[in-house]
């Protein structure tokens, strides 16, 4: 994987914080997404995952610290909640072309890759939650972005579909070399397809390669403290899902680049 230090940095937060109504929503966030790299933000509800993604996207301006984006960066974004008013007639086809022109092939390919090409002429408001997420992901991909920002991209998608979509995201990263900043509330699901994990709880509680984070006492304390059941579930899967070889490989690749003191 191409996570060496000389790979181009797409977006970077330097000790960024956001203060709203006298309260720090997040503080001291540093992270970097490079081309060809998948960075996953995890953390419990209210831990500032979406806020961090919005800081990275420039939708929110940090109250302290800095956010840097490569000039001319082309972004594909799947926001967490995107309700379209029923008063607005909007077919899937028209929705795909919302922010840019699209040629026929790109449009169809993107919809096919997420398995919703048959819904092309349906009104967006008639889609189920899972179908809508697939359309949102297809939109983001069709823009041929340098950076994909996916906020809980598989919410409402059925389990087999979930795995297929994560595989798709990993494939797109490999084929196109784009960077991916992804939000998930659960580490074990995204573990296999991610290079860097940043665990948030208002601040960065730990980060590094997926296994390093999973074994970090701060991560275990956070998930253990918040939900013992989830912690057991997560850790159970950590060990099941990671054959030794692949774990070592991720670890070796990530540690020189990330330079933090895990594991």
Partner 1 sequence: MDDFFVRALLAAGGIALVAAPLGCFIVWRRMAYFGDTLAHSSLLGVALSLAADVPLIPAVFTVSLAVALTLVVLQRREWVSTDALLGLLSHASLAIGLVVFALLERPSAYLAEMLLGDILTVSQRDIVLIFSVALAVAVVLLLAWRPLIAMTVNHDLAEAEGQNPVLAHVLLVVMMAAVIAVAIQIVGVLLITAMLIIPAVTARRFAARPETMVLFAVGFAVLATQVGLWGSLQWDTPSGPSIVVASLAVFLVSLAVSRGRHA
Q: Which residues bind partner 1 (CB under 8 A)?
A: 54, 57-59, 74-77, 79, 82, 84-85, 87-91, 94-95, 98-100, 121, 123, 143, 149
Exposed, middle or buried by CB within 10 Å (0-12, 13-18, 19+), for 80?
A: middle
Rounded distance between C-alpha atoms, residue 188 and residue 155, angstroms: 15
Min. distance of Cβ 74 from partner 1 in angstroms? 7
Min. distance of Cβ 96 from partner 1 in angstroms? 12
- Of 85 and 175, which has the nearer Cβ to partner 1? 85
- Name the one residue in this structure whose structure tokens are 């159970």: 236
- Helix (H) / strand (E) element for 241: namely helix 228-241
CB-CB neighbours of 261 under 10 Å: 9
- Of 136 and 187, which has the nearer Cβ to partner 1? 136
Min. distance of Cβ 258 from partner 1 in angstroms? 26
- Of 118 and 249, which has the nearer Cβ to partner 1? 118
Min. distance of Cβ 150 from partner 1 in angstroms? 12
β-strands 23-34, 38-42 pairing: unpaired
∠ CA 27-79-191, rounded to 5°? 70
- Of 99 and 252, which has the nearer Cβ to partner 1? 99
């Amino acid at each position: 994987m191409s996570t060496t230090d000389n790979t181009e940095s797409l977006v970077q937060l330097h000790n960024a914080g956001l203060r709203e109504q006298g309260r720090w929503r997040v503080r001291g966030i540093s992270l970097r997404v490079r081309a060809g790299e998948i960075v996953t933000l995890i953390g419990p509800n209210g831990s500032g995952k979406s806020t961090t993604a919005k800081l990275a996207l420039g939708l929110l301006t940090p109250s302290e610290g800095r956010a840097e984006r490569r000039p001319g960066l082309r972004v594909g974004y799947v926001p967490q909640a995107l309700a379209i008013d029923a008063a607005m007639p909007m077919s899937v086809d028209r929705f795909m072309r919302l922010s840019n022109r699209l040629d026929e092939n790109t449009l169809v390919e993107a919809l096919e890759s997420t398995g919703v090409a048959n819904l092309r002429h349906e009104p967006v408001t008639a889609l189920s939650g899972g179908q809508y997420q697939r359309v949102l992901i297809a939109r983001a991909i069709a823009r041929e972005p340098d950076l994909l920002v996916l906020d809980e991209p598989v919410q409402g998608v059925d389990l087999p579909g979930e795995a297929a979509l994560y595989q798709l995201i990993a494939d797109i990263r490999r084929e196109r070399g784009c960077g991916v900043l992804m939000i998930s509330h659960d580490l074990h699901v995204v573990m296999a397809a991610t290079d860097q994990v940043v665990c948030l709880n208002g601040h960065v509680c730990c980060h590094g390669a997926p296994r390093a984070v999973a074994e970090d006492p701060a991560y275990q304390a956070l998930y253990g403290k918040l939900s013992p059941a989830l912690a057991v579930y997560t850790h159970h899967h950590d060990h099941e899902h990671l054959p030794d070889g692949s774990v070592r490989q991720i670890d070796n690749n990530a540690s020189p680049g990330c330079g933090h003191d895990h594991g």
